[in-house]
Structure 1
Amino acid sequence: METPVFDLIEEFHSEDIMSYNHSKIMHRLSVALDRYDTDYDILPELELELSTGKCKPDVSVFPKRAEDWENDIIFYTQPPIIAIEIQSPKQATTDITTKVNTVYFPAGVQSVWIIVPPLQMVQVRTPDGQKKTYTDGVVHDPATGIEVPFSQLFR
Structure 2
Amino acid sequence: MEAVVEQPALTDYEIERGKPMPSFNHGLLEARIIFEVMYHYRDTFDIVSEVTLQNPNPPTVPDLSIFPLQASNWTKDEIKVARVPLTVVEILSPSQSVTELIEKSLTYFSAGVKSYWLVQPMLRVVFVLLPGDEELVFHNNTLTDPTNNISIDLKKVFR
Percentage identity across aligned positions? 29
8 Å contact kept, 1:122–1:133 = yes
**Aligned alpha-carbon RMSD (Å):** 1.8
Relative to structure 1, the CA distance from residue 19 to residue 51 in structure 2 (aligned partners, 3 Å threshold; closer, same or farther) is closer
1:36-67 Cα deviation digits (max 9, x unpaired): 12111111111101043211111111111111
Aligned residue runs from structure 1 range 5-154, under 5 A: 7-9=8-10, 12=14, 15-35=19-39, 36-101=41-106, 103-154=107-158
Aligned equivalents of 1:152, 1:68: Cα separation in 2? 32
Relative to structure 1, the CA distance from residue 64 to residue 19 in structure 2 (aligned partners, 3 Å threshold; closer, same or farther) is same
Q: Could you list the structure 1 runs, at least 4 aligned residues long, displaced by more than 2 angstroms after superposition.
A: 5-16
Q: Any idea what SS the aligned residue of 1:8 has?
A: coil
TM-score, length-normalised on structure 2? 0.87
Aligned equivalents of 1:75, 1:116: Cα separation in 2? 27
Aligned equivalents of 2:49, 2:80: Cα separation in 1? 13
TM-score, length-normalised on structure 1? 0.89
8 Å contact kept, 2:38–2:45 = no
8 Å contact kept, 2:38–2:46 = no
1:75-134 Cα deviation digits (max 9, x unpaired): 001210000000111111111111101x20000000000001011110001112210111
How many residue pairs were aligned? 150
Q: Any idea what SS the aligned residue of 2:80 has?
A: coil
8 Å contact kept, 1:49–1:76 = yes
> Using CA pairs below 8 Å that are at least 6 residues apart, which structure has the higher relative contact order?
1
Structure 2: tracts of 5 or more residues without a match? 1-5
Q: Any idea what SS the aligned residue of 2:48 has?
A: strand
Structure 1: tracts of 5 or more residues without a match? none
8 Å contact kept, 2:120–2:126 = yes
Q: Any idea what SS the aligned residue of 1:73 has?
A: coil
Aligned equivalents of 1:54, 1:91: Cα separation in 2? 19
TM superposition shift of 1:10: 6.8
